[in-house]
Amino acid sequence: MIVVRHIQHIVAFPAVRIDDAVGQALHSAFDYEGSACHLSTEQRQRLKLWIAETLPRTTRHVGAWIEREFGIVYQSRSGLIALLHRLGIEHRKPQSVSRKLDEAAQQGFIEAYDTLLNTFGRPPLSGPF
């Protein structure tokens, strides 16, 4: 069953096969733009360079930069995340790190981890590493 939504009502039609031309007409009737990228190849390259240089902390910063530089507005966070994925950039929310770190405990962990790596499945390495 195909359901067509309108602002004031929902109309259901029995399932019918829709060819590409009719499907595109239906999408355009509802201003559906799909997931095509709005940025040109050059703009995408500039965006990747800017992200590499500035390491923005949120997608809001990325969206604001795109709007300021190119005049293109991404209205949803998911659209920006999809854009970042298409560019090969993984966006993760940064995790906070305590300001009160125990340096002795950290050094002990690093030494134990190095020992584990050097002895896991093979004889221990010798020499100044």
pLDDT more than 70, % of the chain:
61
CA count, 13 A, side-chain hemisphere, 127 = 4
- Asked if residue 22 belongs to a domain, the reply is yes
Q: Does 73 lie in the same domain as 45? A: yes
Q: Does 81 lie in the same domain as 47? A: yes
- Asked if residue 20 belongs to a domain, the reply is yes
82-123 pLDDT tens trace: 889 888 887 676 677 777 778 888 899 999 988 888 876 665
112-126 pLDDT tens trace: 988 888 876 665 556
- Asked if residue 80 belongs to a domain, the reply is yes
Q: Does 19 lie in the same domain as 47? A: no
Q: Which domain holds residue 17?
A: 1-32
Q: Count other Cβ atoms within 10 Å, centred on residue 104.
A: 8
Parallel, antiparallel, or unpaired for β 10-13 and 2-5? Answer: antiparallel
Number of domains into which the chain is organized: 2
Q: Does 47 lie in the same domain as 22? A: no
